Structure 1
Amino acid sequence: MNPDTLASQIIEAVGGKDNVREVFHCVTRLRFYLNDLSKADEERLKKTNGVLGVVNTTEQLQIIIGNEVDTVCNAVQAQLGPIDAKAKLDADVAKNKEEMKKFRIGGIFETISAIILPVIPAMAGTGILKGVVTIMTSYLGFASDDVLIQVLTMAADSVFYFLPFFLAWSSAKRFKTDIAMALVIAGILLYPTMTAGQSAGSDPMYLFGVLPIPFAKYSASSIPIILSVWVMSYVYKYVDKFIPKMLRLVFAPLVTVLIMAPVALVVTGPIANYLAQAIATLFTWLFTVSPLIAGAVIGATRSLLVFTGMHLSLGAVCLNNISVLGYDYILPVNTMGTMAIVGCCLGVWICAKKSENKEIGMSTFVSSFLGITEPGIYGVLMTFRTALIADIIAGGIAGAFVATIGCHAYAYVNSCILSLPVFVDENFVFMCIGMALATALGCGLTIFFGLDEGDGIKARLFSKKAEPAPAVEAAGAATPSVAVAGATNSVDVVASPLTGSVSPLSETPDAVFASGALGKGVVIEPTEGVLRSPFDGTVTAVYPSKHAIGVTSDSGVECLIHIGIDTVNLGGKHFEMAVEQGQHVQAGDTLLTFDIDAIKAAGYSVVSPVIISNTASYLDVFPVNERGAVKAGDELIKTLK
């Protein structure tokens, strides 16, 4: 189907242009935020040629398109035209009012991740370019004033230097406030007066003679602009509310900037600068007390310091040490922190199941290896908490090791493997051991802890299971592959193996199933004690306790059906298996029978997860319906390849 035709049908089915607040896409799905979800005709969407499925997440309407999602999304956005920013802002503020009030420590990482994520591709690409420039000037004989080097440096530094502008944009989207006003705040922080004063080391200016405005370094910083935009989101909302409608266009921005300029320059902006100075003083004192403790603390917090920009103050300490002592003891520890990030990025590449996360892992591994850690920090550590934990542990242990040994740097360099020559002395071999240790620990711990990739996907080599049974060799399936008109994907349909009531997998009483660690799917509370084959395929797993069975379809979909929760404890009682492992079955064939009343009387729930255990093999796996009554044989789950 023509993308423009499909786009117009989708817009009409979601309630028209006026009902759309925002639309974007992921790998396979159009994601709509609507003013009124009840106006969307889901049944009509499901029957639309080119639509593979519809998922309503209560807050977001997701329309599964497949490989052509980018083209269709562009067509939808073109037909929608510019969305009324003011109407969208009003709707977002009303919808998220309670969420804004609930802003809490536990949500900080989610917020930071959402703000950084859109900037990651640009950072990863320019980060690698920065590393290439370093190699060219350090090892290939290029002069720093060479025109080619200057052009490449401008290209490589653009995202990092002007990072506050990029983060102002994404922060405004996250905090549901005016994007243009957020960019104004970034412009204030990076205005030439501020950058020139910082470069010259000038004393602070004083607003009204009493409010100090320090010349802090805001280029490449993140916390000052994120904090400033967060404050601005409240200021703009209340200013916009109280100014008469006919005057808002001009006076709402005017009043907002009059308030936020001094707030950003006097309060929110300098916070990171003051913290940096305090931390530099603390770390210098720690080295005089205990190199082991100092090495552990600096190595463990290296990524967090870079993220906030506070590492710059330690740079001044390093330069002073080299000038006075002839060597520095902080740079070797910083390098351990860098190599820990390298290991974590490599671990993400090895461990991740989603292709986009594998790509992030590899690109950030390369840039971090070359000494450009920001992409790895923002794209990996601030996205995956387990990777951040691994980085802290690895950096701390390796940092304590080289600090205790007494490794030194004899020149100020970027902390990475390319800087090895500046560490050459009698402890050089221990420096190399420390770098290998940091990388290995970062990678190993990231793989060991695993990753929460969202959408219920838990990428891990080791997972805590509620019972020993679910480690399936090959279970599950789908009907023969179906070619869907208007798409380039192969779609398999898994029929319901049970009659009963279907609910989202996240509501399963068992935490392992609910987390999606074993794969995507749904949960069914059966009303009939008969389990039927969801497709034509082969029985690939039969458990002695008879409570679970795995089936693989002729097209390769692996399905695990688990009758009840903790029913393995019944030892097969109240279950009767009707097939054997290795037996070929037809869709609808009886696989096993079970006594619902007897199982409940024994104290066990009969809610039954239906899992696609090879979810990672598919572009997408989604339920046909997440709630409501279902009969054995009804379409239940679709897999998209």
Structure 2
Amino acid sequence: MSTAAQGTEALAEAILRGVGGPGNIESLTHCATRLRFQLHDGTKADQAALDALGGVMATVPQSGDRLQIVIGGAVANVHSAIMNLPAMRAGGSPRPQSDADVKAAARAKGRGRYAMVDNFFEYLSDSFRPLMGVLLGSSLIIAIASVLDAVGLVDFRAADKSASWVFVDAMWRSVLYFLPIMVAYNAAKKLKVDPWVGAAVMAAVMTPNFTGMLNPKSGIPGVTCTTNGTLGTQECVAHVFGLPMQLNDYGGQVFVPLLMVGVLALVYKGLQRIFPETVHLVFVPFFSMLIMIPVTAFLIGPMGVWAGNGLGEGLSWLNSNAPIVFAILIPLLYPFLVPLGLHWPLNALMLVNINTIGYDFIQGPMGAWNFACFGATAGVLLLSIRHREKEMRQTATGALAAGLFGGISEPSLYGIHLRFKRIYPRMLVGCLVGGVIVGVLGGVDTNAFAFTSLLTIPVFSPTATYLIAITAAFVISMALVYFSDYLTPEQRAAATAERDAAEAAAATAESVSVSEPAEAADRELVTVGATATATATATSKTAAAPAVTATPGTELAAPVAGRVIALDEAGDPVFASRALGEGVGIEPADGHVVAPVDGELVTVVDSGHAFGIRTPDGIEVLIHVGIDTVQMKGAGFDVRVASGQQVKAGDLLVEVDLDAVRAAGHPTVTLMTVTNTAELASVVPHTGRPVAVGDPVVTVTR
């Protein structure tokens, strides 16, 4: 098994534990960036543990015991790894239904407007989400054709183009034209109705027999047509069995299948209660189609078209009469709509516009938001490189790649922007500037449903206007985030301190790995020599600083006098998590900080608040003076040693002005940890007592 596969499997196992185990999973699906869990008990999910996982960008709890875990582009692999775990071979476990559960489910039907809104947008999302791949594929096909058209290789819009390019048209139009059938299938599946019945009902009003009546020259009596002056669309009415039926071309419509399936679910489930289960296969689909096809053709279809056209006309009016307002409004709304899943209605309107008037005017201004989002991510990436933040660099790199080449904003939003409140105001400035440029320069249109990425720029017209707008949005957001930071000064100082501590630990580990062969050969001699030297040093110094040697079963000494406390009480979450190893904290009685053990100083930070020591036999010790004291930039710290220097237990490392530390508002607690705890047999802290310099406070066993 490859290293990457092993990492994915380990992440899958950790996620499974974090959601409460396989027994707590009712179902699991995924979208382009997120795992979607339906849990039996949402309270069993350990959100903090899940957020702490390296491959997890964010967790998003939802009502009804639903939980989304944002993974990013690797979501399909992680989903597959989870489903392939031995514990998940049976898939999700059905929720057991006791009498109490049945009553609770009945009560939950009226659980409030927020759950209903959540369910509605979940319905929209699940109806569209599985189609994102084919929608993106079709948008890239037309993008390639538009590039060829732009460079003069083919007239992509010519009425008399060759059969080859007519076929290319079919490749991308297939998705948009038959989109209602696909949406109906997904929506029916979401509402636990036979999805093929939903697809069949929608297909009935898209057959050549039905659409043939839209042609006034077809010779079918009773068909009359009028033209919508605003949108330029044709509306036809036919009398069927004496009843007027509005005829529409339902290709590309999305409101119609969404409305239709909502009614179909009521009809289908009602028929299931009427007919015996033994004849469900025949009569439930039969009567569902017999009822729903006429209802869709006479009522739901026209209502869906009216709703879509009404919204389209409203936005078209705003775009025509106040283009600057429209161009600004769209990119400023999207940053708030997308995280809540409220952008689906606007996405649906884009498809309606393309289907009815042949182009869309929403996606152009929307591009300003997307590229402002990606620009903010680029700013974070530059900061992560500047500040040597490996985890954020990896997160931002993946999110930026997904955005620039796939047009997907969720990795940026969930992985970065929603975690740091300083990003949104700066990103909104980029949205505003991009929207103003689109409005002032007369708007941007497209005749394709296109994910706004670098690859789809050619599908927007005028391309130059669009390119100027998205470039401005990207650069401004990136610059604002980079120069003002996504962290507050206090957060940046804390992050820098954590980074310094982690780098000190890593440097110690690297030094150990480099010198390990020589140490293995001479370990016994070094240990004996170190013991003899430390004993001589202890004799020549005060009794307050006895030598402590790094031998199996050794006692590490207190680097400062004071009261010993556990890492959990020290007030620093990084040390409390044991990410930097097991150890102790000491509330210091004075600022005289000494080496707790013989060894080499592999790290001495410039600010003088942290020291890393590697002992002759490979024990790695980190001494960290105060919390967030990196912000003092060395003020109050008189460092007496240098990196690479050999020290003995009791040698003075630094004199600290504790009053200056307190005046700066920082805790003075001094922390000492064994950073390679995982490689040792045991590291046992001794807490809850006062100590003098040199008293044993940690027992190390190799």
**Greater RCO, 1 or 2 (C-alpha within 8 Å, sep 6+):** 1
Equivalent residues of 2:143, 2:459 under 8 A apart: no
**1:441 matches 2:477:** no
TM-score (norm 1): 0.51
Q: Deviations over 1:296-332 (max 9, x none)?
A: 5578779979943435777799889xxxxxxxxx97x
* 3-state SS in 1 of match to 2:141: helix
Q: Cα 1:308–1:413, aligned 2, differ >3 Å: closer, same or farther?
A: closer
> Which structure has the bigger radius of gyration?
2
Distance 1:267 1:277 in 2: 15
- Aligned letter for 2:470? T
**What is the deviation of 1:284?**
3.1
Contact 1:277 1:313 in 2 (8 A): no
Instruction: Report the Cα offset of residue 438 of structure 1.
Output: 0.6
Q: Aligned AA for 1:283?
A: N
**Does the 8 A contact of 1:394 with 1:439 survive in 2?**
no
The answer on 1:393 being equivalent to 2:424 is no
Identity over aligned residues, as a percent? 14
The aligned residue for residue 153 of structure 2 is 140
1:126 Cα deviation after fit = 3.8
* AA at the equivalent of 1:141: V
1:196 maps onto 2:207 in alignment? no
Q: State the SS of the aligned residue for 1:141.
A: coil
- Residues 146-192 of structure 1 deviation map (CA, whole Å, 9 limit, x = unaligned): 5554554444445444555666677789xxx5455567546645644
Q: Indicate conservation of the 8 Å contact 1:109/1:382, yes or no.
A: no
Amino acid at match of 2:211: A
Q: Helix, strand or coil: the match of 1:21?
A: strand
Q: Is the 8 A contact 1:240 1:248 kept in 2?
A: no
Quote the Cα distance in structure 1 between the aligned partners of 2:195 and 2:468.
42
CA distance in 2, matches of 1:316, 1:39: 46
Question: 1:280 deviation in Å?
Answer: 2.0
Match for 2:27: what amino acid? Answer: E
In structure 2, the CA distance between the partners of 1:193 and 1:121, relative to structure 1 (3 Å rule), is: closer
Instruction: Give the 3-state SS of the residue equivalent to 2:489 in structure 1.
Output: coil
Distance across 2 between alignment mates of 1:376 and 1:29: 12
Residues matched between the structures, number: 522
**Which letter does structure 2 place at the counterpart of 1:76?**
L
Q: Is the 8 A contact 1:232 1:256 kept in 2?
A: no
Aligned to 1:276: 312
Distance in 1, matches of 2:136 and 2:614, equals: 40
Question: Could you tell me whether the CA contact under 8 Å between 2:372 and 2:431 is conserved in 1?
Answer: no
Q: Deviations over 1:115-142 (max 9, x none)?
A: 7666545444443222112334553237
| 1:267–1:355 distance in 2 versus 1, CA, 3 Å | farther
Q: Is the 8 A contact 1:115 1:167 kept in 2?
A: yes
| Cα separation, 2, equivalents of 1:28 and 1:630 | 46
Q: Deviations over 1:339-388 (max 9, x none)?
A: 66456556656756576875664465457xxxxxxx55888789978598
TM-score, reference length from structure 2: 0.48
Matched-pair contact (CA < 8 Å) for 2:179–2:253: yes
Structure 1: unaligned runs, 5 residues or longer: 41-50, 321-329, 368-374, 424-430, 452-458, 484-496, 514-518, 611-628, 635-641
Amino acid in structure 2 at the alignment position of 1:447: M
Contact 1:539 1:551 in 2 (8 A): yes
Change (3 A) 1:36 1:402: closer
Q: How far 1:393 sits from its partner (Å)? A: 1.6
Instruction: From the superposition, tell whether residues 54 and 134 of structure 1 become closer, same or farther in structure 2 (CA, over 3 Å).
Output: closer
Report the 3-state secondary structure (helix = DSSP H, G, I; strand = E; otherwise coil) of the residue aligned with 2:493: coil
Please say if 1:499 is aligned against 2:538.
no
Stretches of structure 2 lacking an aligned partner (at least 5 in a row): 46-52, 216-233, 336-342, 382-391, 419-423, 451-455, 514-563, 673-684, 688-696
**1:21 counterpart (17, 26, 43):** 26
Letter of the 2:566 counterpart = T
Give the one of 60, 75, 82 matched to 2:84. 75
Shift of 1:276: 1.2
Residue pair 1:475, 1:539 contacting (<8 A) in 2 also? no
- Partners of 1:75 and 1:366 in 2: CA distance: 30
CA shift digits 1:419-439 (9 cap, x unpaired):
79x86xxxxxxx94x445312
- The whole-number CA distance in structure 1 between the counterparts of 2:259 and 2:85 is 34
SS at match of 1:463: coil
Q: SS of 1:310's equivalent?
A: helix
Select 2:252's aligned residue among 219, 229, 247: 219
CA distance in 2, matches of 1:199, 1:593: 90
Q: Match of 1:275, as an amino acid?
A: L
